[in-house]
Amino acid sequence: MPALLLAFPHTQSNSAPANGAGERFWLAGRYDGNTVVVYFDAVKFGKAIPSNAKEISPPVVNGFFQPDAVSANDIAQFQKTPEAEHFAPGDRYDLLSSSGQTATVTLTDLIAAVGDEAVGNDSYIGALATLDSETAPLFQNNYYALRRHAAQGSNRESTGNAGLLNDPVPFHIQSQVASQLTQRMETMTPGPIRLKVQKAPLAFEMQSFTLADGTLRYYVRAEWKSEEQSDYQPTYALAAWMVPSPALRILAVETQTSSYGFEFALPILENVVDLGNGRTGMIFSTYGEDSRALVLLQYRDGVSLHQMRALQTISAGE
């Protein structure tokens, strides 16, 4: 069966330049302890699969597959073009997390994840990278953004504002959210389905986050589930981007992407990072019926994920 992947504008498995000239960002995930994993480029090994690859432990987070340790020669064949990232052990990069946290990491081991290329999937080349022991305790997230190391005095201005918040959302705001979600559901569903959904109780989870300019936003995942519905399948599900002021309102919505239950039915917000120069980055996990993707996006008000700029996508389908 050909791969069924979720589409994003300008999406490529390689990292796409952001607004800064030639600037690239990549996804990074916790490998273990003070080590992260990053894939710099999507490739096609074809018949040239690394013969001396050594199996290593899988990352502790989802979305980065099962990498193998490979040699510099295995990587070099894909570094002959200007657009390829030229990386090697000892190189330094900046790890970006919530609220402007930045740490320098050093590449240690070269890795590759060989995908099922016969059905259209990519393979990936990258590296493991280590944080220093003093910085590691401050970086406890599972997902990050990575960029080339910024020299001292560079013009990458970061406000440190963009990030996920842990503060509980006030009850009166939650009540307004429930009302607006119900109204939006009623405008999006045809008559027969609407009647069924209206009888089902609403449950939702909210995440608060700030943009690089310091303003507050909400990301809400919601489901309506009737009693006769199966244990894992929602009757209806949607996610909403919301702004609380000057009056609470919905900016954009996300629709259901899979039928595998609420946990996987809607995009999952993993982290919010400051990309510098007023830009906000978001890391999402998304699931299709026979695919999954990890996506780094540049956030934009008023549009759904598929209309935001994708800076890197790591994906696979069956």
pLDDT (tens digit, 9 = 90+) per residue, 284-302? 999 998 899 999 999 999 9
Q: Which domain holds residue 101?
A: 25-153
Single-letter amino acid code for the residue at 28:
A
Q: Residue 134: is it exposed, middle or buried by C-beta count within 10 angstroms (0-12/13-18/19+)?
A: exposed
100 and 188 in a single domain? The answer is: no
Whether 2 maps to a domain, the answer reads no
As a whole number of angstroms, the distance between CA 97 and CA 273 comes to 5
3 state DSSP class of 39? strand
pLDDT at position 152: 59
β-pair type (123-131, 35-43): antiparallel
Q: What are phi and psi of 163, to 5 degrees?
A: 170, 165
Which element (helix H / strand E) includes 175?
helix 171-188
Burial track 271-293 (b if 16+ CB lie within 10 A, e otherwise): bbbbbbeebbbbbbbbbbeebbb
268 and 198 in a single domain? The answer is: yes
127 and 171 in a single domain? The answer is: no
Cα 268–chain centre separation: 8
Whether 11 maps to a domain, the answer reads no
Which of 153, 177, 192 terminates a domain? The answer is: 153
Whether 235 maps to a domain, the answer reads yes
- The maximal CA–CA distance of the chain, rounded, in angstroms, is 61
CB 15 within 8 A of CB 40: yes
Question: What is each CA distance from 191 to 113, 185, 187, in whole angstroms?
Answer: 47, 11, 10
Domain count, the chain: 2
Q: Which distant-in-sequence residues (6+ apart) come within 8 Å of 145 by Cβ?
A: 25, 26, 27, 28, 95, 96, 273, 275, 281, 283, 296, 311
pTM: 0.89
pLDDT in tens, 209-244: 999 999 999 999 999 988 776 667 788 999 999 999
Tokens representing 256 are 């259901």
Tokens representing 172 are 């009166």
CB 207 within 8 A of CB 98: no
pLDDT in tens, 5-40: 344 443 344 566 654 446 899 999 999 989 999 999
As a whole number of angstroms, the distance between CA 254 and CA 222 comes to 10
178 and 304 in a single domain? The answer is: yes
Whether 16 maps to a domain, the answer reads no
Q: Which distant-in-sequence residues (6+ apart) come within 8 Å of 126 by Cβ?
A: 37, 38, 39, 40, 41, 67, 87, 110, 111, 112, 113
- Radius of gyration, CA atoms only, the chain: 21
98 and 169 in a single domain? The answer is: no
pLDDT at position 261: 80
Listed in order, strand segments (DSSP E) in 149-305 are: 163-165, 202-210, 216-224, 236-243, 249-255, 268-276, 279-287, 291-298
193 and 134 in a single domain? The answer is: no
pLDDT at position 3: 32
Using alpha carbons, select from 268, 292, 300, 296 the residue that is nearest to residue 282: 296
137 and 200 in a single domain? The answer is: no
Whether 135 maps to a domain, the answer reads yes
Whether 7 maps to a domain, the answer reads no
pLDDT in tens, 51-110: 889 999 999 999 999 999 999 999 999 999 889 999 999 999 999 998 788 999 999 999
Whether 15 maps to a domain, the answer reads no
